[in-house]
Amino acid sequence: MVNKNFLIIAISTLFMTLLLFLFFTKETNDKGTIVLGASLPLSGINSNLGKDIVVGAHTYFSHTNARGGINGQKIEFIQYDDKYEPENTLTNTQTLIEKDKVFALFGFVGTPTVKRILPIITQSNIPFIAPYTGASFLRNANIPNIINFRSSYVEEIEALVEYLTQTKGVTRFAIFYQNDDYGEEGYVALSASLASRGLELKAEGTYKRNTLSIQHAIHEIRSAKPEAIILVGAYKPTARFIEKMKECCPEGVIFSPISFVNANALMDELHGNGENILFSQTVPSYDDFLSNEAVEYINLLKFYYPKEEPTLVSFESYLAAKSVVMALKNTQGTLTREKFIASLKSISKHTLDNIPLTYHHSQLLNQVYLSTYSDGKFHIITKKDGSK
């Protein structure tokens, strides 16, 4: 009887494995469209981030569809709201795969949310493209279907520390971070960057994801008298933290948010006051009118979303979407996931004009831009290239 039950279970498992294999090797859906899908925050404390991802991507996908799509196939971009909560991300991803039968996953947001679905990504061959996170676990050569667009948090923080120590002479660092996988990535990266220079963190303060509970973090950090504070959080709690720290601490402390903080939303929360803030960006500024990409982005955004202001997040999403479109167009013969992944990894360095693409460390764009903010603009003061 035991052997019979074991045989039934074994056959059932084999059958389910075969079904999954057949599903995950399915190349396109029956609609005659190329379906991409995302789970991202469209409500809650990080809704601006999710909205900007959608706006940027839709801008270029709409532009592509208006010109005939990809060999006559239109791009359909489906999004579900996960409120920046990992369990919602899991449910949404299952829906995208099982119900919507997406060709690829594109534009997911967040480290803890993406980490929750990492087993699904790893076990499938579905392309997982341009997640808005710099998490190190997504930069793994053993997971070939993950292609990041942006630089990693390790690279962002290394660029900040290098500039702050060498140019500003900073030796006393603190960190304000979200108490989850995202914040831990930043904490580990900063600790390692400082240790390589014979330095150590002077203080740390955390807050709980999707809250504005920052008082304990302020108490922990202010007594250490840091010269610079690395900020690894969301824009609303980060804005409150900066405001409160400026009220209680000596002038001259440099606040350094990494890109996920969402620089435009942060500046809105701070009413445009960028004093003593050093930003890390993973794309150049969209108001660099020497760049054809920036000019095209501004013009198409005005056409498709006339009420939306340009932001670094939507510009990044726009550039990632354009890279996807170019890779789809360059795919020879019948479109398959494997061919698409290979096409994206071998994309021309000059695809985005003067924004160089090179597939390295599981990512396409390997620059970190440091900037300040004044007169309503982000001014890049230095750039670090991580592809060399």
pLDDT of residue 182 exceeding 60, the answer is: yes
pLDDT digits (tens, 9 = 90+) for 92-130: 999 999 999 999 999 999 999 999 999 999 998 899 999
pLDDT of residue 80: 98
**Architecture of the domain defined by 153-281:** 3-Layer(aba) Sandwich (3.40)
pLDDT of residue 200: 96
Cα separation, 170 vs 172, in Å, equals: 6
pLDDT digits (tens, 9 = 90+) for 212-248: 999 999 999 999 999 999 999 999 999 999 999 998 8
Residues 6+ apart with CB under 8 A from 346: 359
pLDDT of residue 232: 97
Burial class (CB in 10 A: 0-12, 13-18, 19+), 338: middle
pLDDT digits (tens, 9 = 90+) for 9-20: 444 444 444 444
- Domain positions in the chain are 12-151+288-366, 153-281
Written as one letter, the residue type at 52 is: D
pLDDT of residue 388: 64
Top pLDDT among 51 and 17 is at 51
Crossing angle between the packed helical segments 292-304 and 47-66, to the nearest 10 degrees? 90
Percent of all residues in the chain with a pLDDT value above 70, rounded to a whole number: 91
Percent of all residues in the chain with a pLDDT value above 90, rounded to a whole number: 85
Average confidence score pLDDT of the chain = 91
State the pLDDT confidence band at 290, using cuts at 50, 70 and 90.
Answer: confident
For 20, 26, 147, 374, the CA distances from 16, given in Å and listed in that order, are 6, 15, 28, 57
State the pLDDT confidence band at 3, using cuts at 50, 70 and 90.
Answer: very low
Cα separation, 179 vs 89, in Å, equals: 19
Is the pTM higher than 0.85? The answer reads: yes
DSSP H helices, 76-214, are 86-98, 111-116, 118-123, 153-166, 181-195
- Cβ neighbours of 184 (radius 10 Å): 17
pLDDT digits (tens, 9 = 90+) for 310-362: 999 999 999 999 999 999 999 999 999 999 999 999 999 999 998 999 999 99
pLDDT of residue 347: 97
pLDDT of residue 244: 93
Residues 6+ apart with CB under 8 A from 335: 27, 28, 34, 70, 71, 73, 328
Q: Which residue has the tokens 């060999």?
A: 71
Nearest to 338 by CA among 128, 126, 131: 126
Q: Which residue has the tokens 């900073």?
A: 170
pLDDT of residue 346: 97
pLDDT of residue 65 exceeding 70, the answer is: yes
pLDDT of residue 29: 42
- The CATH number of domain 12-151+288-366, selected from 3.30.450.40, 3.40.30.10, 3.40.50.2300, 2.40.10.120: 3.40.50.2300
Residues 6+ apart with CB under 8 A from 25: 125, 337
pLDDT of residue 250: 66
pLDDT of residue 4: 46
153-281 shares the fold of 12-151+288-366 = yes
Top pLDDT among 86 and 1 is at 86
